[in-house]
């Protein structure tokens, strides 16, 4: 199980990164900065927060507390981005840190205790915690993208009215073990 868990979890993180990538690609810089309602988070702010969280949690993941003393969490909710390129750079830096940490793990690490704000987690628990956190925020990004693009939104999953066609394609394939992200 340990080997399949690590392989699967990397695919899950890549899936959520891809959803974020495809959302960001559909929005221009001004749209990325829109707060739909006052005091809510724009896509840009969500990106800044996710990136800050990733850099804190995954830098020296096995040896240091996941809440680094240098992290300025409150600043993550203030948009300072001056360009889409700057925003994308922050987005990629966070994901690179995460994937580098995950690639360094093996099954022997999974029960090791690590800390986030002095709360002990096994490596498996910490990974699961972060996957849920990032999925939550990427879902917010996707929802905001849909709101901002309206009828021009390009679906990131099975488009409305296409479920039957999608299922027919899947059921015409030979049964076999594969990850749902393999076809993306």
Instruction: Please enumerate in sequence order all residues whose Cβ is within 8 A of that of 166, keeping only pairs 6 or more positions apart, or say none.
Output: 158
List the chain domain ranges: 2-153
Can you give the pLDDT at residue 158?
A: 84
pLDDT tens track for 99-143: 999 999 999 999 999 999 999 999 999 999 999 999 999 999 999
Task: Taking the CA atoms of 155, 43, 137 and 85 in sequence, report the sign of the dihedral they define.
Answer: positive
Instruction: Please enumerate in sequence order all residues whose Cβ is within 8 A of that of 143, keeping only pairs 6 or more positions apart, or say none.
Output: none
Q: With respect to CATH, is domain 2-153 assigned 1.20.120.450? A: yes
> Residue 176 CB: number of other CB atoms within 10 A?
5
> Residue 42 CB: number of other CB atoms within 10 A?
21
**Can you list the positions of beta strands (E) in 37-167?**
113-116, 119-122
Instruction: List phi, psi (to 5°) of 167.
Output: -65, -40
| Cα–Cα dist 67/142, whole Å | 27
Q: HEC string of 137-181?
A: HHHHHHHHHHHHHHHHCCCCCCCCCCHHHHHHHHHCCCCCCCCCC
Can you give the pLDDT at residue 140?
A: 98
Please, are residues 54 and 95 in contact by the beta-carbon 8 Å criterion? yes
Tell me whether residue 153 is exposed, middle or buried, using C-beta atoms within 10 angstroms of its C-beta: 0 to 12, 13 to 18, 19 or more.
Answer: middle
From the list 113, 16, 19, 115, the residue with the least C-alpha distance to 64 is 115
Which residues in the chain land under pLDDT 70? 1-2, 183-184
Can you give the pLDDT at residue 159?
A: 83
Can you give the pLDDT at residue 13?
A: 98
Can you give the pLDDT at residue 51?
A: 98
């Amino acid at each position: 199980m340990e080997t399949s868990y690590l392989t699967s979890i990397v695919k899950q993180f890549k899936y959520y990164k891809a959803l974020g990538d495809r959302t960001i690609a559909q929005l221009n810089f001004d749209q990325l900065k829109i707060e739909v309602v006052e005091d809510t988070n724009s896509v840009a702010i969500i990106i800044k927060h996710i990136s800050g969280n990733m850099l804190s949690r995954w830098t020296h993941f096995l040896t240091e507390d996941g809440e680094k003393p240098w992290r300025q969490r409150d600043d993550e909710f203030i948009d300072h981005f001056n360009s889409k390129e700057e925003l994308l750079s922050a987005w990629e830096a966070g994901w690179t840190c995460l994937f580098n940490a995950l690639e360094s793990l093996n099954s022997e690490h999974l029960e090791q205790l690590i800390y986030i704000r002095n709360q002990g987690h096994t490596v498996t628990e910490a990974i699961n915690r972060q996957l849920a956190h990032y999925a939550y925020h990427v879902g917010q990004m996707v929802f905001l993208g849909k709101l901002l693009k309206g009828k021009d939104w390009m679906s990131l999953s099975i488009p409305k009215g296409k479920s039957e066609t999608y299922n027919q394609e899947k059921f015409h394939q030979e049964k076999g073990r594969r990850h749902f992200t393999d076809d993306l």
